[in-house]
Structure 1
Amino acid sequence: MTAADVTQLGEDPLVTASRRRILGAAERLIGVHGIEKVRLRDIAQEAGVSIGKIQHYFDNRDQVIEAMLGAASMRRVEEWATFANDIDDPATKMVSLLEHAITDRERCTVWLATTSVASRNEQFIPDVARIYAAWRAKLVEVIDAGRHDAVFHPTASADEVADGIICAIDGLMTAVAVALPDYTPERNARMLRHIAGLLLGTRFEAEGDK
């Protein structure tokens, strides 16, 4: 059974629900234990299904992980984008996006696992590129709005500024995922606001910033 075959099965609502439960279980386990320690039996137990049920949809444990990584990372990008939906001010929108990008350790762990797998398996590179494009599109949308309102004064094109911000987010997500002790949530948010501010020709200040 190929990944494409598995995707096609999702047209049946019952299959979709079962697959989501299995992939959700795998995502939770990876967020806590990492890819290497998650076994098929662990996924089955977490999902409340039999190993045979999992193997009805996926050939093996690796296929479960592969399907989960792409779907979970894209879903989390879409969820992240919603944090700016109800905000009108571009600067406030940007701060909300920046801070929500790095506050969830599980999200950071799943993303780190995704890029790690892609670095060893070329077939995942298009998925990772699609996720980067989704991040970029949302940031560019806010950057353009801020430039239009003369709130932002970007030091480069909107695409390049967005990519610079993404690079900073990526680095901090790695620090959060591995729980580096010096990278506290407050310090991470402050650094990210500062870096984005330099790229956008503005200042994003919060209480306690110096």
Structure 2
Amino acid sequence: MPKQVDVAAQRRTIASAAITVIGAAGIDRTRLRDVAAAANVTTGAVTHYFDGKDALLEAALEEVVRRVLERPAPAPADIRACIDISASYLPLDAEGLAEWRVWLAFWARAMNDERLRAVHRRYYAEIVERIADRIATVTSPAVPRARLLACADAVLAAVDGVGCRTVLEPDSWPANRQRETLSHLLLPMLTAFAHDTREFRS
């Protein structure tokens, strides 16, 4: 009886290997055989599941986003806890740095590809929704969802800024500097947002 293959699990294994390889070599220098070796599969297995490097990059990004969205995080008790959770999105370690390199490689591809831009917008929307849910726990329940989403977008923009600097200058941006910088950016903004309920009073 032929061995049953879990297609979803195999694709995730290869996508995870692609994150490691792209993170180390960059998308342009990534070879399918290197991804195959990292995943402990044949090159034929990689080409069976993925039609070229763009498809592999898209799967790698999907795996990055899955990790972000499935990362456990309790509802923050206060603004500083909310900032700490936001900091968990940063490239704080080698694994995070590899994931961010995939994210930025996808940015570069998406700039000239409307389909990839649509994928990127969808992932951003999911992450913004998650951040907005956390901000909602430390603000007035009367804050409209649109305002929460706008605030979450600003939080994510700050995370992007610190994350991009770290990817470009990893030796200059250790984890503690990333966290401190993000806190400097977010603490005044979230404090003002949490206490500005003038528009929401009945």
TM-score if structure 1 supplies the norm length? 0.76
Structure-2 residue corresponding to 1:3: none
Note if contact 1:118-1:125 (Cα within 8 Å) is conserved in structure 2.
yes
Between the aligned partners of 2:78 and 2:155, the Cα distance in structure 1 is 15
Q: Distance in 1 between matches of 2:12 and 2:32?
A: 15
* Structure 1 runs (4+) greater than 3 angstroms displaced: none
In the alignment, what sits opposite 2:36? Answer: 44
- 1:98 is matched with 86
Report what 1:207 is aligned to.
Answer: none
RMSD: 2.6
Once the two structures are TM-superposed, the CA of residue 169 in structure 1 deviates from its matched residue by 0.5
Q: 1:91 to 1:19 in 2, by over 3 A?
A: same
Change (3 A) 1:60 1:140: closer
SS in 2 for 1:117: helix
Letter of the structure 2 residue corresponding to residue 201 of structure 1:
T
Aligned partner (choices 89, 92, 109) of residue 117 of structure 1: 109
| Total equivalences in the alignment | 184
Q: Is the counterpart of residue 75 in structure 1 residue 63 in structure 2?
A: no
Higher relative contact order (CA 8 A, sep 6+): 2
Where does structure 2 lack aligned partners over 5 or more consecutive residues?
193-202
Give 2:177's aligned residue: 187
Equivalent in the alignment of 2:25? 33
Q: What is the deviation of 1:88?
A: 4.9
How much does 1:66 deviate? 2.8
By how many angstroms is 1:137 displaced? 1.1
User: Which structure 1 residue ranges, 5 or more long, are not aligned?
Assistant: 1-11, 203-210
Match of 1:6 in 2: none
1:138 has 2:126 as partner: no
Partner amino acid, structure 1, of 2:66: R
C-alpha spacing 1:38/1:90, structure 2 compared with 1 (3 Å) = same
Q: Percent identity?
A: 29
Per the normalisation by structure 2, the TM-score is 0.79
After superposition, the Cα gap between the structure-2 partners of 1:68 and 1:88, relative to the gap in structure 1 and judged at 3 Å, is closer
- In the alignment, structure 1 residue 17 sits paired with structure 2 residue 9: yes
Contact 1:93 1:142 in 2 (8 A): no
